[in-house]
Amino acid sequence: MILVDRSLEEFSEILGSKSATPGGGSVSALAGALGADLISMVCRLSIGNDKYKDSENLLKESLEKAQILSKSLLKRVDLDSQAFNRVMAAFRMPKETEEEKKARSAEVQAGFKEAVQSPLAIASECLEVLHLAKNLIGTFNTNAMSDFGVAALQAHAGLEGSVMNVRINLPSIRDEQYVTETNNTVTHFVEEGSGIKNEVHAYVQQN
């Protein structure tokens, strides 16, 4: 059974179990998806209201993008656990002969790259959710102010959590250029995301 078909209560129980998956990566993807959903909610509560007529196009575009991001991030709840399972399976491969050692090492490396690419994609999409929030400042129904604020908090927690997962797996990868580039990318993600989160937070507190 895929994770997103589980009830909140079941997911909570599976998460708390001894199994290595689902773990922090899947939770970060879920946080990003729920952030995107709160952006959808904020847009829907504003679209069609005369007071926010001037931003109608932006609201509709943001709603569409938020729905796409939510769907993609929800898929990544399962994908991230699968990526990690691949690494675990690779470690269980035989390593008696030279050939087996080579095959195992290649599969471990491929698995770790996937275990980096997965949270990297989650981080990138969480950052997109944060950009949606940034662009919506001042354009929406202020009755949904705290939902808007929580959207940014969730997307930011998803971003930081997935960056942790990227950084924890990077030292296992031998391709130095890939490691350097990925490190630079996530550093940039974190800076940009934190800036937006602080901007949204200041806006929510002033309103």
* Residue closer to its own copies (CB basis): 103 or 150: 150
Residue 129-168 contact track with its own copies, rule CB under 8 A, x = bound: --------------xxxxxxxxx-xx-xx--xx--xx-xx
Q: How many CB atoms lie within 10 A of CB 166?
A: 23
Using CB under 8 A as the binding rule, whether residue 49 contacts its own copies is answered as no
d(CA 197, CA 32): 13
Nearest CA among 103, 130, 125 for reference residue 29: 125
Contact 189, 123 (CB under 8 A): yes
Shortest Cβ distance from residue 161 to its own copies (Å)? 4
**By the rule CB under 8 A, 106 interacts with its own copies:** no
- Greatest alpha-carbon span in the chain: 73
Lay out the site mask for its own copies across 188-207 (x = CB under 8 A, - = otherwise). Answer: -------------x--xx--
Please, is 28 exposed, middle or buried when counting C-beta atoms within 10 Å of its C-beta (0-12, 13-18, 19+)? buried
CB 81 within 8 A of CB 25: yes
Q: Which residues bind to its own copies, rule: CB under 8 A?
A: 3-9, 11-13, 15-20, 23-25, 27-28, 30-31, 33-34, 36-38, 40-41, 44-45, 66-67, 70, 74, 77, 143-151, 153-154, 156-157, 160-161, 164-165, 167-168, 201, 204-205
